[in-house]
Structure 1
Amino acid sequence: MSRSVSTSVTPSVPAPASAPGSGSAPTEADLLDFALRTAADAALVASLPLDDEGRTWIRLDGPGGSEAWLIGWPPGTGTGWHDHGGSHGAFATAAGALREDSLAARLPTEGWRTLELAEGIDRSRQLGPGSGRAFGPHHVHEVRNESGAEHAISVHAYYPPLPLIRRYSRTGAVLRIEQVERPEDWQ
């Protein structure tokens, strides 16, 4: 079970150059910079209540109108395969470690339910405290806390704010769209 613990918090880190009022949308680099700096905010990270039963989160005020979240991951939890509905984004680990498995291929966004993936497109990385990654609008991945005992905490930012999330199942090389979620499903 996942639960939200707050609706909006402004991190105590200063916003990057493309903050509201600067006239430009945040880039992937801006979002990664925000995620890394926010993940280093010890007071904010400590304010997130952790739950052994499911992920918890606090909505943050991201740079330049982006959507941002501080997320707590109990041991053994993950997202499953998903995309971000055309938004670009970034995430950074504040505590513990997260593993990201991703596809190094641009998938079509419409007109399919099942795809057979080519060999050699799988990528995997481990992200410990203070590390993060940015990604483009066609990124498909899963993120998980593989620890058997330690919570992980991370910061995520997306621009434009997520219009939807497509959830996938994967069996070997076969990827299948299972569900499309809209913002009202997770806010």
Structure 2
Amino acid sequence: MSVSPSPSAPVSPSASVAGSAPAPASAAGAPTQADLLDFVRRTAADAALIDSLPLDPEGRTWVRLEGPGGSEAWLIGWPPGTGTGWHDHADSVGAFLTARGELKEHSLAARLPTDGWKTLELTEDVDRQRRLPAGQGRSFGRHHVHEVLNESPDRHAVSVHVYYPPLPRIRRYSRTGSVLRLEQVERPEDWQ
């Protein structure tokens, strides 16, 4: 499984392009989780855009998209057997949806402290997992800790991701059983 330094951990750069027309932001100006989920649904339905993503047999590829209301969006290709490793998106809310193939998400149903810790012991009831076949996605709130995987042995997956505000940082974790350890904090300059 590969892990790399980007918003959703792609490993090889692609050109930035504008995506589908951004959805209008909420009345307050900032897009809501519902706006972000609507954006990933509409973008994933754009077959020409999905087909335009170059796929690499070994590393993830990505294209930066224009998201709604100043959000940060990405189209990501996942070779068989790749994943993000455990991470969060700090103070950003977000959404993602599988456009092709199937992804699996492992997540924690617990809010972690935002700072001041290196190791936490998780309780038995915090693990969640969901399969996200093509057309399925989800939104999430701030500090959502998860890992996303393409477990297929032979098929690429493609997904659309969006975050608001644009990612201020990503915290990466390692996990051994019930122990979660903060390993690294990345900032935008680390992946852009």
TM over 0.5: yes
Q: Deviations over 1:79-136 (max 9, x none)?
A: 0000002100000000000000000000001110000001111000000111110000
Q: Is 2:81 aligned against 1:76?
A: yes
Gaps of 5+ in 1: none
Say whether 1:151 aligns with 2:181: no
Where in structure 2 are the equivalents of 1:36-185 lying within 5 Å? Answer: 36-185=41-190
Structure 2 Cα separation of the partners of residues 72 and 104 of structure 1: 27
SS state at 1:4 partner: coil
Q: Tell me the TM-score normalised to structure 1 length.
A: 0.95
Q: Which residue of 2 aligns with 1:6?
A: 15
State the alpha-carbon separation in 1 of the partners of residues 122 and 62 from structure 2.
32
Aligned-partner Cα distance in 1 for 2:191–2:157: 20
1:17 to 20, 24, 45: 24
Partner SS, residue 124 of structure 2? coil
Q: Hey, what's the Cα distance between the residues in 1 that align with 2:182 and 2:28?
A: 36
Amino acid of the residue matched to residue 3 of structure 1?
Answer: S
What secondary structure sits across from 1:3 in the alignment? Answer: coil
Letter of the structure 2 residue corresponding to residue 5 of structure 1: S
Q: CA deviation at 1:70?
A: 0.1
The number of equivalent residue pairs is 183
Query: Is 2:112–2:143's contact at 8 Å kept on the other side of the alignment?
Result: yes
Percent identity, aligned pairs only, is 70
User: Could you tell me how far 1:23 is from its partner in structure 2?
Assistant: 5.4
- 1:66-87 deviations in Å (ceiling 9; x for gaps): 0000000000000000000210
- Counterpart contact for 2:22–2:66, Cα < 8 Å: no
Q: Take 1:110 and 1:23, find their aligned partners in 2: how far apart are those partners? A: 29
The answer (yes or no) to whether the contact 2:96–2:161 under 8 Å persists in 1 is yes
Structure 2 SS opposite 1:34? helix
Q: Distance in 1 between matches of 2:143 and 2:81?
A: 26
1: CA distance, partners of 2:24 / 2:186: 31
SS at match of 1:5: coil
The amino acid that maps onto 1:29 is: A
Alpha-carbon distance in structure 2 between the residues aligned to 1:23 and 1:141: 28
